[in-house]
């Protein structure tokens, strides 16, 4: 296969089909006819001598395994070309395009409002498009090229992705405001481990927290789990147990007007941090590098 057999336009149309899940929606988004887009994707499959899409009876399309792999690489190629054009067309300080960010549920309140606010002020021509999910799902989307970067804890990060350190975090105990430990400057695991635990059940949070406690020689007694951190804080405030969190909020107030306190834990074995994960070995687009710079130390 010759390089000229595959065009950037074909790659752009194919990625659009993967993103939108149908040829019709992709053609509308790309402002071309459905027939023209179908022809371009068909030519791409012919040039690659591989099926990239599975057409279903409902007119939806699903990438084949080869399609997923090609889409991930195609996105990087398109991003690199866009970056090259930006260098010529814009001044060095000007950023344009879409920044696609995935953030874990627990980190999103801490990171995303500040990132969006900073980009709105400093890079108004960049559209920040973000999604929330589990660390596993976010990193899979980064691998597939559907996200430019993911924001997760380092203990959840996969080794095959590049990691940029953003900030160190420390495990904290969450207890009711009137709890005997609430006024302490810090605590040891032994100070609270005999009480009931209420933990976040978004994978792999429970597993990681349990591993951290077991590394100190203790096993938590889990009473409740929840996928909603505000539900957890309200249960903690009502005295149903303690919880654990790496990134305490700026306020101690719960959703229902009660109060919790966050106390640093001294003796956890593993250190943790917030990292930005990206795919590939090529330099990240300037939008991504700017986002990492904005988030460093947040």
On whether the 3-74 domain is CATH 1.10.10.10, my answer is yes
Largest pairwise CA distance in the chain:
72
Rounded mean pLDDT for each run of 10 residues along the chain, 298 residues in total? 76 92 91 93 92 82 90 85 65 77 94 96 95 93 90 93 94 97 96 97 85 91 95 98 93 95 87 90 81 92
pLDDT of 3 reads 56
Reply yes or no: is the peptide bond before residue 204 cis, omega within 30 of 0.
yes
Query: In angstroms, rounded to a whole number, what is the distance separating the alpha carbons of residues 68 and 48?
Result: 14
Which tokens hold the place of 241? 């147990």
Residue extents of the structural domains in the chain: 3-74, 94-168+273-295, 172-267
Residues 145, 67 contacting (CB under 8 angstroms)? no
Fold matches, 94-168+273-295 and 172-267 = yes
- Which residues partner with 129 through β-bridges? 100
Q: Give the predicted TM-score (pTM) of the model.
A: 0.71
Residue-level length of the chain: 298
Determine the topology of domain 94-168+273-295 in CATH. Answer: D-Maltodextrin-Binding Protein; domain 2 (3.40.190)
Its CATH architecture, for the domain 172-267, is 3-Layer(aba) Sandwich (3.40)
Among the listed residues 230, 225, 226, the one whose alpha carbon sits nearest the alpha carbon of residue 255? 230
pLDDT of 77 reads 87
């Amino acid at each position: 296969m010759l390089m000229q057999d595959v065009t950037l336009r074909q790659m752009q149309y194919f990625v659009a089909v993967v993103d939108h899940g149908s040829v019709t929606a992709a053609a509308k988004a790309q402002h071309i006819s459905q027939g023209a887009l179908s022809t371009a994707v068909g030519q791409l499959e012919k040039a690659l001598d591989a099926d990239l899409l599975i057409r279903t009876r409902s007119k939806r399309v699903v990438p084949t395994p080869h399609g997923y792999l090609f889409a991930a690489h195609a996105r990087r190629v398109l991003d690199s070309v866009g970056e090259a054009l930006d260098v010529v067309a814009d001044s060095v300080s000007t950023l344009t395009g879409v920044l696609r960010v995935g953030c874990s549920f627990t980190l999103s309140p801490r990171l995303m409002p500040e990132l969006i606010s900073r980009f709105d002020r400093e890079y108004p021509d960049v559209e920040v498009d973000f999604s929330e999910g589990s660390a596993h799902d976010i990193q899979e989307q980064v691998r597939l090229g559907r996200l430019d970067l993911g924001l997760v804890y380092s203990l959840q990060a996969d080794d095959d992705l590049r990691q940029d350190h953003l900030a160190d975090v420390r495990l904290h105990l969450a207890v009711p405001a009137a709890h005997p430990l609430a006024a302490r400057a810090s605590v040891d695991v032994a100070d609270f481990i005999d009480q009931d635990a209420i933990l976040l059940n978004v994978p792999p949070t429970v597993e990681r927290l349990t591993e951290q406690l077991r590394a100190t020689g203790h096993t938590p007694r889990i009473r409740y789990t929840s996928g909603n951190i505000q539900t957890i804080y309200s249960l903690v405030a009502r005295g149903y147990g303690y919880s654990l969190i790496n990134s305490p909020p700026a306020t101690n107030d719960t959703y229902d007007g009660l109060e919790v306190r966050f106390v640093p834990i001294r003796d956890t074995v593993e250190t943790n941090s917030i990292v930005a994960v990206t795919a590939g070995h090529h330099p990240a687009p300037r939008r991504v590098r700017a986002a990492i710079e904005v988030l460093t130390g947040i």
